[in-house]
Each structure stands twice: as C-alpha cells, then as structure tokens.
Amino acid sequence: MDSILLIEQSLNGLQLGMMLFLLASGLTLTFGIMGIINLAHGVTYMLGAYIAASVMAATSSFLLAVLAGMGFAGLMGLLMEFTILRRLYERDHLDQVLATFGIILVANEATKMVFGPQALFMAPPEYLNKSIQLADGLQYPLYRLVIILVGLLVVLGLRHLILNTKLGMLIRAGATHRATVAAMGVNIAQVFTLVFGLGALLAGLAGAMAAPLLAVQVGMGENILILTFVVIIIGGLGSVRGAFAGAMLVGLVDTFGRAILPLLLAAILPPETASGLGNSLSDIAIYLLMAVVLIIRPEGLFMIKGKR
Amino acid sequence: MSSKLLEVKGLSKAFLGIKANDDVQLSIHAGEVHGLIGPNGAGKTTAISLLSGELRPDSGQVFMDGKDITNLSAWRRIHMGLARSYQISRIFPDMTLLQNVQVSLQIAHGHSFRFVAPAFGSHGDEALAMLAKLGLEDRAHDLASSLAHGLRRELELAVILARKPRMLLLDEPMAGMGKTESIRITQLLEQLRGQVTMLLVEHDMDVVFQLADRISVLVQGHVVATGTPEDIAKNPQVRAAYLGGEDHDG
Amino acid sequence: MNKLALASLMILLGLAVPHLAEAVGDPFLTTMATRMAIMGMAVASLGFLVGFAGLVSFGHAAFFGIGAYVVAILFKHHSEASPIPFLPFAWEGSLSGMVQLPLAFIASFLFALLVGALSLRTRGVFFIMITLAFAQMLYHFMISLPDYGGEDGLSIWERSQVPGLDLYNDYDFYYLCFGLLVGVLLLLRMIIHSSFGVIIRAASQDEARLATLGVPVFRYRLLAFALAGGIAGLSGALAANLYEFSGPGLMHWSRSGEMLVMLILGGMGSLFGGVAGAIMFIGLEEILAGWTEHWALILGPILIMVVLFAHGGLMGFFSRGRS
Ligand SMILES: Nc1ncnc2c1ncn2[C@@H]1O[C@H](COP(=O)(O)OP(=O)(O)O)[C@@H](O)[C@H]1O
Ligand SMILES: [Mg+2]
C-alpha cells in the first residue's frame, strides 16, 4: 500500500471517526449521566438528514439546510426527553430499550409517511463539491475535509463547554457524583434536558453533514446507532474523551479494514470471493475490536466509575 | 500457642496507586477469635476480600493449614472451610429466609448440577433448625428483602454457618445494629468460640475487647501491632496511631 | 384460578387453535399461531436468560439464525448431493427432521457455549453489547458466504421430514411447533426449580455471595446461556421450515431487539411471559397490518405505554390485576 493511499484512507477514517464522534458524544453523556440506553438516538440523526435534504432542495442554501437539520433534531430530542425519556431515568435498562424501540417505530413510520418511501439524495453545495490537491497525486474531496473540520470544531467546543463552563462542571460532576450535584440544589432535571438536547443537536448535525454522502432513508439511524454504541463501549461509558478515542479508533479500523482486507485476501483467494469476503470481514472488524476490548477490559477502555 | 490455621505473609494490594494493604502480616491460630481493628479506610475490608479470594493480591501469600492458597479462587476456598460475611450483608433478596439457607446447604452437599428434582424440596428441616439457632424461624417464609438491617445480618450468618466453616471472616457483623441484636450476635459468636476460628473486624471496641483472644491493628494498610487485648490497650504506638487518632468514630 | 388450571386451559386453547381457525373460516390463523408458537419458544428461552439468570443477551437472534441455517444448509447439500465442507467425514446433508432439528439445537448450543465463554466475564450493559457484537459478527459472516446465499440467503424447497407428520399440512406443522413449545416450557420450568435453576437464580440476585458460598458461577451461567441458545436454534429450525427460507436477516440485531421487546411486552416474571409477548406482538402486528399500512404508528405508542404504565409487562399487569 503506497503512501498516497495510506493518507487517503487515514483521512477517510478520520472523517468517519468525526461523524461517529458527533453521535457518540451525545450518547455517552446521556448514558453516563442519566444512565439511559437511548436506542432512539439514531432517530435524531435521521431527522437531521431528512430535514437538511429537504431544505437544501427547497432553498439551495447548504448552511440553512444544516442549521435546519440540527435545529429540528435538537427540538425533537427535547420533545422526546420531555415527554418520555425523563420518566425512564430510574428504570431498568430493559424498559428503556422497549420505550426507545417504540419511539423508533413511530419516528421511522412517520418519516416514511411525510417524505415517502424512496430515499432522498442531497448534492453537496457547488462550492464544496470539488476535490483539492493535498499533495502530488493526492486529490481529496473538499466536502470530506469540511466534515473533518466541523468535527474538530465540535471537539474543541465540547472541550471548552465541559472544562470551562458551569454546565460542563455539572456534567462532569453529574457523571460521577450525581447525588452531590442534586444536593447542591442544582435543578438536575434541567441539566439532563439540556444535555439531551445538545446530544440530539449534534446527532442532527451529523445527519445533516452525512446527507450528501449517502442515501437519506429510513433505517439509516439504526445502522449508525449500533456503530455508535460500539464507540462508546470501547471508549468507556460517560467519557467524552473516551468517545473521541473510540470514534477515531472505530473510524480508522473500519476504513482500513475495508481497504486492506480485500487486498490481503486477494493474495490467497480468487478475486470475486476475495472482495465479497473482504467486505463482510471488514464489517466484522469493528465488532471484533469491541469484543476483544471487552474480553480484555470487561468495563471498557476508559471507565470513569463502576456504572453499568 | 496452638497451630496456625491461616497465615498471611507480606500481602499488598493497591487500588489506582493507593495502597489499601501494604505488606500485611497476620497469623491466626486454630480456635482463636482474632480481632482486626483500625480506622475507616485502613484496609480491613480489603484484607478480608484478599483472604476470601475475591481480590487477588499484588504481592504476598496466604496459607491455610500450611497450604498456599494465594491463587485459589473464592469458590474453592470455602470448600476448605473459609467463609466470610460482608460489611453490608449479602443474601439472596428474592428468596425466602428458608430458601436462602437451603441454597447454602445445597451447595454444601455439592449437588448443584442437578436438573430434575425441585431444589427446595430438600434440606428444609436442617435449614429451619439453622434459622431457629438465630431466632429467625418465625420469619422462615418471608422474603429476605423484607428483613430489617439487623435481621439481614443474622440471616447472612445463618447462611454461612450452614456451610459449617472452620474459619469465619466477619466484616463488622455488628455495624448498624441495635443494642439487643448486637448482644445476641455477641452471644452467638461466644457460643461458636472454640468450634470456629474467627477473624473479627469490628468498630465497637467493647465487643472486640470482650470477644477477641488476640487483636491486630491495621493503620493505612499496615499491621502496626498484634497482641492480647491488654497488650493492645497499653501499646503506646497503637494509642498514638489509632486510639488517640482523629478518626476514632467507634 | 390456580396456576395448574390456567396452564391446562392454555394448553387446551392451544390444541383447539386450528379448529377455531376453521370455525371462523380463516385458516390463515393457524399459520399465524404457528409463528407465535415458534417465536414464543425463542422468546421463552430468552426469558429464561433475562428473567431468571439475569443475563440480558442482545444477540439471541444469532442462535435462532444458526438453527435456521442448519436446516437450509442440510437441505441444500442434500438436494445437490454435495458434501458439506469442513466435516471430518463425507456427508451430504439430510432432509430428516430427526436429524435437522436436533442438529439445529446442538449447533446453536455449541456456538452459544463459545460466545458465552467469551462474554460472561462482562456484566450489565457490557454483556448486552458483547453479545450484540458476536451476533453482528455472525450476521456479516453469513453475508460473506456466497455458497450459502450471501446477502440473499437460502431458499428451502423441501420442509423437514418428520415421521408421522406432514409439514406441508398446516395442522401437522402447527401441532409440531405447539408440542415442542409445550415441551420446552415444561423443560425450562423443571430446570428453573431444580438445584441448577436455584443456583442460576441466586447468581442473578447476588453473584459475589454465591461465589463465596462455594459456587463457580461462571460454569452455571455458561450452561444456562448455551441451553437458551440451543432452544433458540430449535425455534429457528422451525422458522426456516415455515418460511422455507433462511437468511442473514434472521440474525440482524433488530431481530434480537424484537425478541427483547416481545419479552418485555409479555413480562419477565414468569416463563409464560415470553410466549404471551410473542403472541401479543405478532397478533398486534397482524391485526394492525390488516387495518392500516402504518401499523408501526400504533404499535410504537403501545410499547411506550406498556413501559410507562404497565410495569412488569402483560403478565405482570394481569397478576397485579388479580391480587
Ligand atoms: N474496589 C476498590 N476500588 C478502589 N479503591 C478501593 C476499593 N476498595 C477499597 N478501596 C480503597 O482502599 C482503602 C481501604 O478500604 P477498605 O479496605 O474498605 O477499608 P476499611 O474496611 O478498613 O474501612 C480505602 O482508601 C478505599 O477507598
Ligand atoms: Mg470496611
């Protein structure tokens, strides 16, 4: 594998990792702080993508599309928290699974009714829809670079929020010393709602940014949700830093698995078998990664406390 | 003195860099009641878990009957007669008191890999007798989760005594108990003296000094002194490090 | 009404299903009841794990899928008269149910033994996720096998041959599934009350206590996990016969999720809860699907309502109603 391909695949991995981080940061915070397993996190991602694609089609403004996708996803997240999820914080994980599964059913069906069963496609805006020369012989799509950049901005923003603001202090404290925070007279319910809304907003951002890269369709949320869970399990529940590490790891392993495995297999197998097998085996790679992490460290890589 | 039932050599265990047990030396003679005292956070519970096999030491060895059991898993140690109680009692909350003891007896008889006969059909009388010993027979058919704190401790004792242990590791068996309950447990332990060797971790100094044949003092993971209650009460080092310390919250 | 009377009533009702279906002139109901019995079996085995052993597996569909693939693969090799690869002896599969069904159980049991051995050191959410991971690995692995249909799966042209029964006859097929379901429930009930079952239940209440009472908890859990996997495999083998198909979709994580949903819907406090959940879920799906194409819009809120207002699932709701 030459260095051009290596750089290209690294960038692809980074881009997938940033995407996963946008989703994982919200999921890990809601799990770490509120102890809730939210299968419906993928729903906000899907909604972000749908709204962005529709607004883009109507207005041709990419910025507006992304903002609308984010905003709508954030609002829906708040609505979900307010009507259903806040009643489930103290409940069994299984109850949370059932209720959020119910939310998925409703959201997916409603989305199908409103937008139709066909997938939507969204073109990236003209000014981003080109490749730029990064090095000799290395052309890379500008749009993917923008995703990486947006991801980095979010990483820095979240870092600032968590380390330097009152909300961040509460989030940090809430993840480890929930009772203490409550005893300080802070309205913990409000903090939860805010964090939840923030998580949904970021998931919506991920959906909106992903919309030009893939078919916008019902079910897209569930596919990425499982990957996101892999990320936060590897990273350790409740840790944003861990979510970042996990997202990068999963992004890179997935991308390189996809690029390298077929090449390796082609050396020993007939070509069409090799590519088919290579593809599915690279799907396996991330799950293998998670299983291995859990077999070696049954509580994840960066566990912040004995929470499960 | 008599032979050593349990011997601990240089046991150390750290959590995230904090040395909970640091080169602990203990020898417990067959038949004695050995008190283990020390301020909160001294490492008493950690020591018990190292002895029971639930924690693995970073270094050091544990011998029982002269046999090295350092790497023996917890479930095997009790088959050698080493049983423990917990600082916060552990029982099976969704079972009745009787069933709790029945499970223990079932394990003692070693026939848990059986799939056909109903389990709670056997050992009923033996279990009831055990409960009666602790004055719990009236509640035999109540759920264990319905018990108040003190009674849970008594049930836990019934459950582990059903295993007929030779050596008991008791982690604050009187903590959070009322006066009468506490007296009853003290009497029970007094009755067991001689039949069962005991390592007794307890905050209530009156109880420890009344029951123990010898006492070891643990401070910051170290055993700073071992001796008869009289020796310990007089030991200036102990008084300085422990009895005179701030942290004496009884 | 006591439990025995209730169970007898349920069995009588189950026996009467095909006749009732005929009486109301809707023979399709028998097929639906067959589906319910098949899923009921899988969900009951999951209920044994979750409700009694305290092990929340999010990969149960993998074992179900293995059972289905065993039937499909044995059929395929039999019909092509080709030997099954990687066997130490030459064997061209079989159509006999007396071979297919036990083998489905055994294959799933063994795979569950492997997954359990690697997973049972984790707890809680981590156990949920590692079982999910193994199931997803198997899902993608099956997709990667073009000889066994890859993404499209395998069709089965001939159902299993069971002596004395014709599985192309809806009655026969239903009674086979129903009989096996009753058998499985009785078996699980016996196990739950046995010495082994008591250990399993105790482990879910306080694992550390059980260990310091002298039980190697891991072995007991492993066996329970494998047993549940085997039963799910048997159920999958029946499903493959019903659909005349096996494919990777049967193992997808959403199918594992669906089984959990059925279980929670029915309630976990009793073995029958899983069956009740399967009946309710499939029944609702059928009724709503016949009524509106947007059935998910109604089923979703029902699930949410069950969680918010009917704690303990359907069975819990009824048992509270009675007391
Ligand atoms: N599982 C654990 N993880 C991290 N630290 C622990 C753990 N168990 C005990 N410790 C620490 O080890 C020290 C000794 O604790 P412990 O053995 O419980 O003391 P004691 O029983 O004498 O009060 C304390 O500082 C405690 O915080
Ligand atoms: Mg202690």
C278: domain CATH number? Answer: 1.10.3470
Q: Which of residues 119-158 of B touch C (CB under 8 A)?
A: 119-120
Q: Percentage of chain A surpassing pLDDT 70?
A: 94
pLDDT band of residue A258 (cuts 50, 70, 90) is: confident
- According to the model, what pLDDT value does residue B3 have? 84
> CA C239 to CA C108: how far, in whole Å?
14
| Domain span holding position C268 | 3-322
How far apart are alpha carbons B45 and B169 in whole angstroms?
A: 10
How confident is the model at residue B248, as a pLDDT?
Answer: 42
Cα–chain-centroid distance for residue C7? 20
Going by C-alpha positions, the residue among B83, B29, B89 that lies closest to residue B52 is B83
Q: State the pLDDT at residue C277.
A: 94
Protein residue whose Cα sits closest to atom 18 of ligand 1 = B45
Q: Report yes or no: B168 and B125 within 8 Å, Cβ to Cβ.
A: no
Cβ separation C144–A288 shorter than 8 A = no
Greatest distance between any 2 Cα atoms in chain B:
62
- pTM score of the predicted model: 0.91
**What's residue A192's pLDDT?**
85
pLDDT by 10-residue block (mean), chain B, 250 residues:
84 92 95 94 96 96 95 95 95 96 95 88 92 93 94 94 96 87 90 94 90 94 94 84 50
Nearest-atom index, ligand 1, CA of B47: 17
Integer angstrom CA distances of residue A237 from A165, A308, B250:
22, 8, 38
Please compute the mean of the pLDDT values over residues A47-62 and round it to a whole number: 95
Mean pLDDT over each residue of chain A, to the nearest integer:
87
Which of B126-161 are b and which e, b meaning 16 or more Cβ less than 10 Å from the residue's Cβ? Answer: ebbebbebbebbebbeeebeebeebbbbbbbbbbbb
Pocket (CB within 6 angstroms of ligand 1): B 15, 18, 20, 38, 40-46
Q: Which chain B residues have a beta carbon less than 8 Å from that of C215?
A: 75, 107, 112
As a whole number of angstroms, the distance between CA C140 and CA C248 comes to 8
The confidence score (pLDDT) of residue A90 equals 82
- Please identify which residue in the block is written with the tokens 């061209």: C92
- Cα A151 from Cα A159, distance rounded (Å): 12
Find, among A157, A182, A142, the residue nearest to A25 by Cα. A157
The pLDDT of A232-256, averaged and rounded, is 89
Residues of chain C with pLDDT below 70 are: 1, 311-323
Encoded tokens for A234:
């590897």
Q: How many CB atoms lie within 10 A of CB A60?
A: 12
Closest CA to A92 of C247, C268, C170: C268
Chains B and A share 3 or more Cβ pairs within 8 Å: no
Q: Which two tokens stand for residue B212?
A: 């123990």
Domains and CATH numbers, chain B: 1-81+165-250 (3.40.50.300), 91-164 (no CATH)
Q: What is the pLDDT of residue C249?
A: 95
What is d(CA C213, CA A84) in angstroms, rounded to the nearest whole number?
42
Beta bridge partners of B196: B193
Residue of C nearest to B76 (CA): C214
Any residues with CB less than 8 A from the CB of C287 and at least 6 apart, and which?
none
Cβ burial of C147 (10 Å; 0-12, 13-18, 19+) is exposed
Q: Does the pLDDT value for residue A306 go beyond 60?
A: no
Helices A188-210 and A3-34 sit at what angle, rounded to 10 degrees? 150
What is the spatial distance between Cα C138 and Cα C135, in angstroms, rounded to a whole number?
Answer: 5
Which of B13, B15, B219, B249 for mutating ligand 1's site (highest number of atoms within 8 Å of CB)? Answer: B15
The protein residue with its alpha carbon nearest to ligand 1, atom 8, reads: B46
Judging contacts by C-beta atoms under 8 Å, the chain B residues touching residue C202 are 92, 95, 103
Q: Which amino acid is at C2?
A: N
> Among residues B179, B171, B176, which one has the least CA distance to residue B218?
B171
Determine contact: B95 vs chain C, CB below 8 A. yes
CATH class of A9-128+137-296: mainly alpha
Question: CA gyration radius for chain C?
Answer: 20
Give B12-52 as a DSSP string: EEEETTEEEEEEEEEEEETT-EEEEE--TTSSHHHHHHHHH
Question: Does the distance separating the beta carbons of C209 and B91 come in below 8 Å?
Answer: yes
Q: Report, as an integer, the average pLDDT of A22-41.
A: 88
Q: Give pLDDT, residue A178.
A: 64
**Are residues C41 and C14 in contact, defined by beta-carbon separation less than 8 angstroms?**
no
Number of Cα atoms under 13 Å in the Cβ half of residue A104: 23
- Nearest Cα to B82, choosing from C208, C212, C216? C212
Contact (CB, 8 A) for A173 and A180: yes
What whole-number distance in Å separates Cα of residue B236 and Cα of residue A268?
77
Distance CA A10, CA A18 (A): 12
Torsion sign, CA atoms B11, B16, B20, B22: positive
Query: Which ranges constitute the DSSP H helices of A41-187?
Result: 41-59, 62-83, 93-115, 142-164, 166-176, 178-183
Cα of B136 from ligand 1 centre, angstroms: 32
Residue B90 distance to chain C (closest CA, Å): 6
- Contacts of residue A256, defined as CB under 8 A and 6 or more positions apart, other chains included, come to A9, A13
B47 CA to middle of ligand 1, Å?
10
Which residue do the tokens 């997709």 mark? C143
For chain A, what is the radius of gyration of the CA atoms?
20
Q: If you average pLDDT over every residue of chain C, what do you get? A: 92
Domain count, chain C: 1
Q: Are residues B12 and B57 in contact, defined by beta-carbon separation less than 8 angstroms?
A: yes
Closest atom of ligand 1 to CA, residue B48: 17
